[in-house]
Chain A
Amino acid sequence: MSGQHGEIRRIVVAVDTSADSLAALHTAVGLAAGLSAELHGLFVEDANLVALARLPFAREVRLSAAPRRLEPEAVEGQLRRLAAAARRALEREAASRQVACTFRVARGQVAREVVAAAGEGDLLILGRVSRPILPGGPFGSTARAATAQAVSSVLLLQRAAVVGRPVVVAYDATPLARRALALAARLAHLQEAPITLLLPPLAGGERVAVETAAAEALLPTRVDFTLRPLPRATAAAVAAAVGELEGGLLVVGADTILLAADELPALVESLTCPLLVVR
């Protein structure tokens, strides 16, 4: 549910105080500044955790020592402190780029709250929410739920965005693809990076039409672009192409014909750059 003509006016970013989350926050503030959007920070207090803490046998398994008893008051206090730290981090980052921001703490199931909060903006940004004791693990349920269910566009920063590398966009001439292309062009312009369009494997006439549409859309933006037809329309082919191009960001429409609907989570795992799903 982006703004009119797909513009990003309000960015929602899920924050906690992990390093990945802080990196995502940094990117979000940079984007908000570049796109003149306002920023909304969300900290979710995990209701499951609160409930668990109240159970008599609740124990926390830690990397460093033997399991420790979880006390409800301690958990509540920890969550309050984390939320406060997240707010400070958001406000500090936003102030440094003079971006307007708001902050909200929600309590509930994390994935559900994040998906719900996505509706409050045009773009949801999620950092990696990995388990702290298993770094580098796959994306969690929150990212999967957001990718599949969020009503806004979603930017998954499972890896750091690298400025200056090409912005790769999957383009199949659908309205969402056009919106994705427009957003990609804007981001490429901000980063002074070129654009590479991944085109579906189409027959001659159809392919020319897609290419023409893409060229017409991009020429006024004065961004350098390259067209690259894919041999197959699969997540693996898209990921391989992005890897070869050393892409800095992949932008796809949520309904792109380059991917089956259930391939998005797999794509997230195999990409070497952040993924922006446009809705």
Chain B
Amino acid sequence: MLNFLQNLLRFPKTLLAVTLLISAIFFFVMKENTRMETDLDDYMPQEHPAFVYSNQAEERFHIQDGVIIAIENKDGIYNSGTLQKVKDLTKELQKMDEIDKDDVTSLYTADNIIGTETGLDVKPFYKRVPESKEKLEALRKSVRDNEMIYERLVNNNETVTVVIAEIKDDVFSQEFYHRLLDLAKTYEGPEKLYVAGRPIVEGTMAYLGPRDMQRMVPIVIAVIVIVLLMVQRSIKAGIFTLLVVLFSVVWTFGLMAAVNIPIYAVSTMIPVMLIAIGVADGIHLYSHLHIFMRENPQADKRTAAFDMLREMWKPVVMTSVTTAVGFISLLTSEVYPIKYFGLFTAFGVMAAMVFSLLLIPAGTLVFGPPRWKIKNKSGEQHENSFLNAIASLVVRHKYITLFATIIIVAFSIWGTTKVWINSSFLDKFEADSDIVITDTFINENFGGTSTLNVILDSEQEDAFKQPQILEAIDRLQTKVDRSLQVVGNSFSLTDYLKRMNKVMHADSAKYNVIPGTKDLVAQYLLLYEISGDPENLWKVVDYHYQKANLTFQLKSDNSIALNSAIAKIEETLPELQTLGVNVNYAGSGYKGLVFTDLILEGQIKSLALSLLIVVILLSLMFKNVSAGLIGAVPITITAAISFGIMGLLNIPLSTTTALLSSIAIGIGIDYAVHFIERYKIYAAETNDKRLTGGMTMQHSGRAIAFNAIVVIAGFLVLLASVFPPNRALGALVSMNMFTSFTGTVTIMYLLLVSSNIYFKKNK
């Protein structure tokens, strides 16, 4: 390996030129072929039973996410002006390409099932906008009397009405969203319009997150450059360290584009990982070079470069290979974007390794080593004495260190138990953002902006014409509606039947119940088909009355809300099951919940797996099981504290924050390996524990500290982000860097010293 590298380095200029050329090609490929994947359905493992079931149900019952446009008139909506706007807006939405004509629900399109003197009538609430006082009053009354409409399309103090437009699959775009906003704006005054709904939230998030990243990343890089220059005290070193990172990012994304894999939201984490991990190699290499130059001021650039390579290639390869293997363990995930994330980050890490081992020596050969001002000793003395102080403190108070570590880890594990997963999209926005304000407004006035579809299944044909079963469903609806604050309302076949039964009995409230016999149910349904729009019926039940769709409207899309509703529903499971009815769930909210669970499960699995792999690899590399175990300590501590803090600070796990545990692996390994490797070398050289400790701190410890400072400084920039998940990301990455560093120079160092592994011969 070393020989191979040295052979390549005989042509440093060619090497630099070739790398630059390939990078340029990759950059071009990346620019031309990269595509973003924002459709969240594409993230989910389509073959997973929960998704298969949900997708089937969505197709069967035409379940689509709706955009909700609320029209508020503080003086009440029952005036011809506002009603005209409802009508016009409905019609304009129906004409949009992204919306099916039949999928717009408003007071203008809704069916009003009413009883007349002689019979039953299903008709619109209005066609021509009512003008006279009497007609407006009649409309108000007919809405109030219809429990299928009141508080669903009009709020209870009659100042807000909603127009709901279900959006076709895969058509939501920012352009469409802005068209909707512009459209809504034209209807303002005196009415106020609000645009909300899951497609809006999802679409905006998919757009805002990456856009915010695009804005923040240059600043992050700039800060990293500045801090790199400050700690490395050399422009050359800074540039080459950074080039390693940049090239590895370009190659990774170039490769993704070349093999036609789109960029998913989690892919934006790849550069984050590569920056955090990639700078390490450069820092360690230059740190070594710096020490070498200080000790051998007369050495020529060739000697310096080759000494650096000879001394450092092993830890660089070891750290990179273990880190890459750690990321490859993400292939066990069921979620494709995460598999890709693991695979390509691993590639990026390996690329960074190659660049570190080739570009940095080549750069040194071509441009000469960085010209450090060797005289500037006081500063270094300062740093070193700080690290040495830590080292001696730790060793002197080893029980305190041990005890403190145990306490911190135990506390973290306790915190870990409090970690909750949040599949909410809305929670990712600022509390005072338009999206949240609009959503809150609609939730206050109506059932809710989020939905949970409960799919009821029976083996038996016509099951959902059986009064017994229908009554059980009705009880379920009432129970969940009433007992949970977060559930706004529910809708199913029972609502049609109760309404029909009531109006067929002269609007008597006594008959607002499920009809008593199966024949009557069937005949009402036939009557509805004859007089109404049967299309609506197929949104709640299938042709054979074997499957039914019960929709709950929720005032929050977060996992707690969904889980509480599901838990309540599950309570009625035994009763439904004795009636031969099975319960499943569907809809985008539910899929999001399952999806987040999958990510977390995969993440924990891969974390455990990679920890095991790391221990084995390190044991093999250091030819010592104790070293392997000690090397795993920083990773374990970092991961435990990372999850623990999230639990304690009530930061929910989400797709991005869950992936952060991967950083623990990447960084933890780097620190541990470099440190142990150096410790081993110095131990062999000096045979003196104290001296070894001090020298290791000066060499690896210093590099580790630099690495941590650089990345922490860079990622702290994200705290200024406007997108809360990106802020959490910045804070957590910084924290992980800090705990990795602290864990390495304290507890791991202590264990290393106490274990005596590299001093056995002495004893």
Q: Do A and B truly interact?
A: no
Residues of A within 8 A of B (CB): none
